Structure formats: C-alpha cells, structure tokens
Amino acid sequence: MTVVELLERKRDGGTLSDEEIRWLITSYTADEVPDYQMSAMLMAIFLNGLTGDELAVWAESMLHSGDTLDFSDIPMTKVDKHSTGGVGDKLSIALAPMVAACGLAVPMMSGRGLGHTGGTLDKLEAIPGFRTQVDPSEFHHLLKTIGMVMGGQTETLVPADRRLYALRDVTGTVPSVPLISSSIMSKKLAEDIDALVLDVKVGKGAFMQDEEQARLLAETMVGIGTRHDTKVMALLTAMDEPLGTAVGNANETAECIEMLKGDAPPDATEVTYRLGEEMLVLGGVAADNAEARTMLEATITSGSALEKFEEVIVAQDGDPRVLEDLSLLPQAPEFVELEAPRDGYITECHARRIGVAGVQLGGGRLRKEDEVDPAVGIWVFAKEGERIERGQPLARIGWREGAKLGAAMEILEDAWTIGDEPPEPKPLIIGEVR
C-alpha cells in the first residue's frame, strides 16, 4: 500500500477500504506519513467527502489513536454536552453543575477559545487559582467523588486529532462536515460517556452559517455516536447574536454564577435549560423534558447546583469566595460605552464581529501562543428586536490597552444595525436531530 495510490483514488472520487483508512491514520500518528501527503488527503476529503462507511472507520481510527478513558467503575450514568462554538457561549459552566446536581456524572472536557469563539477553559481560569489541567487519574477521581469535573483535553487522548486539527488549520480544510464530525466525535467517544448532547450552532457567529450544513453536521455526528452505541442527540441553536450579555472571560464566568443563582438573561437561560433537559432525559434520570425542567429548576432554587460548582472550584484549587463576591474575579481597569447613533430597532447584533472585537481587546488569541487577558470584555446591552434611543448604550467595553481598544471599537461600530422596523423574531432553538 502506498499513500500515493490512496491519494490518487480519493482525488478521483473513489473510496478507501477500512484497512487502508486504519493504516493511514495509524501511520500518520506514528510520523510515518508526512504532513504534505496528509494535507493532500485532507484536501481530497474536503472536496470529495467520505462515504458513511469511510467516515465511521475514519472516526474510529482517530478514537483509537491514543488512550481512551475507562469510567466503568463509576455507577452513575456519564453524560456530556459539546457545543460547536459561538460568541458568549458560556453555557457549560452553569449547565454542568445543574446536571450533576440531578445525579448524572458530567466529565466535561473542554477547549480553549478558537478564532472569534470563546473557550470554557479560558473562562474558568478567570477564577483565581482554578486549575484546568487535570491528569487522567485525578479526572477519574473527581468524576467519581463529585460527579463532575471541568478540565482540558489530556495529551494522550486522540493524538491523531491534535495533529490533524493543526494541519487543517493551515491548509484551509477546517470547515468540512466529515472532518469536523470525526474530530469532535472521536474526542467525545474517548471520554467513555453513555450519552452526549450536541449544541450545533447556526448563524453569523458559528462555524456553520447555514441551517442545511449545520443539520448535515448534526446528522453526521449523531450517526457516528449511534454506531458506537452512545446515545447522541443534537440541538441546532441560533448564533447570529451573542448569547446572554457577557462576551469575554471573567465577565462570562460572572454571568454563569448569576445564572446559578437564578438570575440570567432569557436567551442564555432558554438554551441552557433545553440542553439540560435533553441531558437528563438521555441520561435516564427524567422521563420527559417537563420532568427534567422541574428537576433543573430545583437545582437553582435549592442552591444545589451552586454547591456543586463550589465543590468543583475547591477541588480544582480555585477560590470559592468568587461565588459570593464577583469583584474577586479579574476586573478591567477602564470602561467605555458604545452609544446608539440613532433611534430605531436593532435589526442586527453581529456575533462574529463582537467576538472578533473581544479577541482584539485581549480576551482571545490572535496567535496560538498569546496569553488571554481574563479581565477585558464586552457587555452587550442591545439585542435584536429591541427598541433603542439615540445615545443609549449598545455595549459597555472593559479594556486595558488603548491600541487594543481602538482596534476593537472599529469593529464594534459595525456590529449593530439599527432600522426603522423591528425584525422578524427568530427562534433560538432551530431544530433537533436524533
């Protein structure tokens, strides 16, 4: 078998056998196939796709490229949630303790900010002392004893994805349904979960800008999960404007703490509860969405979700006093407001532009090695459909460096559109795939 033969076949629209795919992924992970040949293969897949059978073997080979976790000694049902990424998408931080407080185990393995989208690990690290590097044995211990853990991907889990993702990033092959779905699902299946709820974002601030592509991605990921005997469902949710008010790191974590105390913006609340309902039903602790909703609400009114989050913060070396005093989170030294230039209705509050402005402020990374400034951020005060008067604040911006503020403001000035008529209301939950 030579790589060139496989490349030529895939280039010409042919299919690869199971054995060929396994060999290719294993050899690439072992450094026996060079990046230039794998780049060509990724582009051939980007252009010609993979058949259902090829994709199943591709994903499975990635999954088995390194260690997999084994939680079989933990009696609780293990359920995770994964978002394809958005702006202001802080939901995991409140959702995981709510679901864990209902009796499910939540092995939340999260990522860092990518491009204009934020990452749960960066947001959690805004809590003074909070440690997101958790090795596999501690991950196991925390899941078993607390029923929840919030950490980063370990080095040995799905090494093929680490290498393939970096290669895709520099070869224009990221936005491909088979490549995204195998990347996400191989990592999730390596977590030894029983069930998974996917939040597939659709819209201006998402990877998938149109619903048809998002649905195809959702169907493909659900298909991979089903083949691996893992219960998977996907919600398609709107990401045209940021979720909630806060876009940043410390401010998003603060918003989640408020959510755990029952005080959160309605859009973030709606999506969080709906994802939670699906997790409880798939995890088998609620008979239907209505019962799940009641259980989730009880975790807020009783304070059990907040207590669960406190346990996790303490176990992962964070300062739990932030739960009572949000001023212990990093604070931006300076603030400025962006005012509405005219009266009217907000017809657009552009998630991607606001996300990019947050990165420019220092809240995300322009280069991989950049440090994130947890204190800076944006508070979005005007969302689509709202009536606004000239001079009213559209947003509040917490900043540290003047040059970064200048770059962010230039983008923010184009992030809102104000019209004479209110726009058609759009649903937050666009659809579901089972």
Chain residues in the site for ligand URA (CB under 6 A): 165, 179-180, 183-184
Q: How far is the CB of 179 from ligand URA (least distance, A)?
A: 6
C-beta closer to ligand URA: residue 179 or 238:
179
C-beta closer to ligand URA: residue 92 or 183:
183
Q: How far is the CB of 180 from ligand URA (least distance, A)?
A: 4
Provide Rg for the chain, Cα atoms.
22
C-beta closer to ligand URA: residue 154 or 331:
154
C-beta closer to ligand URA: residue 30 or 166:
166
- Give me 194's structure tokens: 């029983």
Catalytic residue, candidates 112, 116, 168, 353: 168
Q: How far is the CB of 184 from ligand URA (least distance, A)?
A: 5
Catalytic residue, candidates 82, 90, 231, 352: 82
- Give me 220's structure tokens: 């493909």
The amino acid at residue 251 is N
In sequence order, what DSSP letters do the residues of 264-330 get, joined into one string?
A: --HHHHHHHHHHHHHHHHHTTS-SSHHHHHHHHHHHHHSSHHHHHHHHHHHHTT--GGGGT-GGGS-
C-beta closer to ligand URA: residue 77 or 230:
230
What contacts 399, CB < 8 A, 6 or more positions away? 332, 333, 334, 335, 336, 361, 376, 405, 408
- What is the rounded end-to-end Cα distance, in angstroms, of the chain? 38
Query: Is there a catalytic annotation at residue 161?
Result: yes
Catalytic residue, candidates 161, 194, 199, 373: 161
Q: How far is the CB of 160 from ligand URA (least distance, A)?
A: 12
Query: Is there a catalytic annotation at residue 187?
Result: yes
Neighbours of 155 (CB within 10 A): 11
Catalytic residue, candidates 92, 183, 201, 267: 183
3-state secondary structure 176-205: CHHHHHHHHHHHHHCCCCCEEEEEEEECCC
Q: How far is the CB of 200 from ligand URA (least distance, A)?
A: 11
Query: Is there a catalytic annotation at residue 89?
Result: no
Q: Catalytic residue positions?
A: 82, 161, 168, 183, 187
